[in-house]
């Protein structure tokens, strides 16, 4: 299976190294340089000690509110706050005090949950905040010279998931493998999804339970919505990378030289 590899941490279930993934032309991503994760707030002392040894820069895609509620531990490295969303997105941010009315409406049925998550993913290639954040993220990948770049949101599923889609696409991973790695999040977060559904499911009927599972899971349909919007606006994801994020062909080659084995 050509996916990222889970790293062993005590309290970070969805922290994964892209190292070892094989590109469409047979090259391999260098290990220990590109790490995707969920929030770091719950990291144990041993986890923090391990992170300090391997991480050189952190990109945090969470909202201002999420950061204030559950700040990252101090790792002694470069840290960038790059909010992709400016407000609550149910199933994405999981803020401490979400808009209960909005959550009730979105989780009323699975079709509404799917529609909502498709709109969130569509915004990743259209909203000013998302474009600004992901543009700076790619710059960080190009500029970082010490240790791994680690990027995260809350669960490491949507905002960080799309950053991983971008990174793997930039490095030449085949699309089927990009999707497979995106869906691998469901395996890594299976216990967390069950916990979240139980937390929000007081007196919920089966329709609402299914909707909540959708909100808290990765789904290929969400990526399809992003692709459709990228096709409409830029002629595809590569067009988004070039036109919206401003990544040149020379920079793409520089990323490959930096993060792929010879």
What is the model's pLDDT at position 170? 98
pLDDT tens digit sequence for 202-243: 666 778 888 888 998 999 999 999 999 999 999 999 999 999
Q: State the chain's mean pLDDT as an integer.
A: 91
Asked whether residue 146 is assigned to any structural domain, the reply reads yes
Contact 69, 96 (CB under 8 A): yes
pLDDT at 200: 66
pLDDT for the residue 90? 42
In a domain, 91, yes or no: no
- Label the pairing between strands 148-152 and 55-60: parallel
End-to-end CA distance of the chain: 22
Q: pLDDT by residue (tens digit) across 63-106?
A: 999 999 999 999 999 999 999 997 645 445 444 444 556 677 78
Domain containing residue 11: CATH number: 3.90.190.10
Tell me, yes or no, whether 92 lies in a domain. no
Query: Which range among 5-14, 205-214, 241-250, 251-260 shows the weakest confidence by mean pLDDT?
Result: 205-214
- What domain range is 46 assigned to? 5-86+97-259
Do the domain assignments include residue 208?
A: yes
Residue 28 lies in a domain: yes
Residue 70 lies in a domain: yes
Q: Beta strand pairing status for 34-37 and 16-17?
A: antiparallel
**Residue 11 covered by a domain:** yes
User: Model confidence over 124-145: pLDDT tens digits?
Assistant: 999 999 999 999 999 999 999 9
Count of the separate structural domains present in the chain: 1
The model's pLDDT over 178-202, given as tens digits with 9 standing for 90+, comes to 999 999 999 999 888 777 777 766 6
Is 217 domain-assigned?
yes
- pLDDT at residue 145, rounded to an integer: 94
Residue 132 is predicted with a pLDDT of 98
Backbone angles phi, psi at 61, to 5 degrees: -90, 5
């Amino acid at each position: 299976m050509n996916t990222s590899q889970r790293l062993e941490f005590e309290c970070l279930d969805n922290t994964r190294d892209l190292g070892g993934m094989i590109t469409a032309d047979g090259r391999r991503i260098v290990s220990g340089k590109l790490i995707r994760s969920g929030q770091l707030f719950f990291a144990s002392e041993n986890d923090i000690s391990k992170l300090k040894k391997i991480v050189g820069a952190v990109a945090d895609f969470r909202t201002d509110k999420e950061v204030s509620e559950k700040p990252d531990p101090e790792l002694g490295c470069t840290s960038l706050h790059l909010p992709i969303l400016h407000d609550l997105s149910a199933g994405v941010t999981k803020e401490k005090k979400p808009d209960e009315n909005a959550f009730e409406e979105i989780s009323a049925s699975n079709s509404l949950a799917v529609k909502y998550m498709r709109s969130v993913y569509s915004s990743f290639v259209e909203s000013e905040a998302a474009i600004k954040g992901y543009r700076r993220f790619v710059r960080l990948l190009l500029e970082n010279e010490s240790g791994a770049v680690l990027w995260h949101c809350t669960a490491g599923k949507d905002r960080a998931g799309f950053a991983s889609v971008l990174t793997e696409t930039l490095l030449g991973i085949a699309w089927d493998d990009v999707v497979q790695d995106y869906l691998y999040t469901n395996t890594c977060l299976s216990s967390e999804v069950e916990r979240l559904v139980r937390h929000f499911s007081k007196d919920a009927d089966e329709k609402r339970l299914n909707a909540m599972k959708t909100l808290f899971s990765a789904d290929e349909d969400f990526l399809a919505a992003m692709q459709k919007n990228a096709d409409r606006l830029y002629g595809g994801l590569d067009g988004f990378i070039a036109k919206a994020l401003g990544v040149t062909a020379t920079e793409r080659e520089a990323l490959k030289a930096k993060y792929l084995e010879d």
